[in-house]
Amino acid sequence: MKNIGLIVVVVIAAVLLLGGCSTYNNLVTKEESVNGKWAQVQNVYQRRADLIPNLVNTVKGAANFEKSTLESVIQARANATRPEINLNADQLTPENIQRFQAAQDQLSGSLSRLLAVAENYPELKANSNFLELQSQLEGTENRITVERMGFNTAVQDYNTSRRRFPSNIFAGLFGFQEKGYFQAQAGADKAPTVQF
């Protein structure tokens, strides 16, 4: 009788251990997926930051260009690439993601204004360097959208696994924290007003 009880305890312990290992490994895999997606998001944002000085220098070459617009882009780029804004994979809390996103949104707004003002300068619009940089920047913005979407998908998968039972027990035991999402800019749900 004693042996049967001991066998039952050993079997239950083995099942819990194997289940715990599987759950832990699954959470590690999903967290690493989030980390990899985050690295790719940073990669495309860095690509954009690297293009901006070339774009600004090309625009500076156009006569009488609005200095305040250029300064706005330069300042927004500096803000978006500050060390405290660039997050490591272990800093992906919802609050940190919002801070990162706010700095990137400011840079996006400045770039949009730069490109809109550039439309008023025919010699700039005809400059092949400007056109190539503008095309590269537009492609990068599309890549940013794709990478942010992939990141959010990986975060959703990770956060869902982290919260489901019995994974939530192991997530708590081993310190797997919630990851933050990228969210739409405030007011993005409203269509812009176009006037002629």
Return the higher-pLDDT residue of 187 and 11.
11
The tally of domains found in the chain comes to: 1
Q: Locate 189 and state its tokens.
A: 């749900």
158 vs 11: CA distance, rounded Å: 30
Least confident of 22-26, 50-54, 84-88, 124-128: 124-128
Question: What residues make up the domain containing 74?
Answer: 2-174
On whether residue 120 sits in a domain, the answer given is yes
Residue 88 located in a structural domain: yes
Determine, yes or no, domain membership for 38. yes
**HSE, side-chain direction, 13 A CA sphere, residue 20:** 11
CATH of the domain at 71: 1.20.1440.20
CA-CA distance, 81 to 103, in Å (whole number)?
8
165-192 pLDDT, tens per residue? 888 988 898 899 999 888 766 655 555 4
Residue 23 in any domain: the answer is yes
Q: Does residue 184 fall inside a structural domain? A: no
Domain assignment present for residue 188? The answer is: no
For the chain, give the secondary structure using H, E and C: CHHHHHHHHHHHHHHHHHHHHHHHHHHHHHHHHHHHHHHHHHHHHHHHHHHHHHHHHHHHCCCCCCHHHHHHHHHHHHHHCCCCCCCCHHHCCHHHHHHHHHHHHHHHHHHHHHHHHHCCCHHHHCCHHHHHHHHHHHHHHHHHHHHHHHHHHHHHHHHHHHHCCCHHHHHHHHCCCCCCCCCCCCCCCCCCCCCC
pLDDT (0 to 100) of residue 139: 86
Tell me if 190 is assigned to some domain. Answer: no
pLDDT tens digits along 70-106 = 777 878 888 788 877 778 877 888 888 888 888 888 8
pLDDT at 58 over 80: no
Q: What is the pTM of this model?
A: 0.68
42 falls within a domain: yes
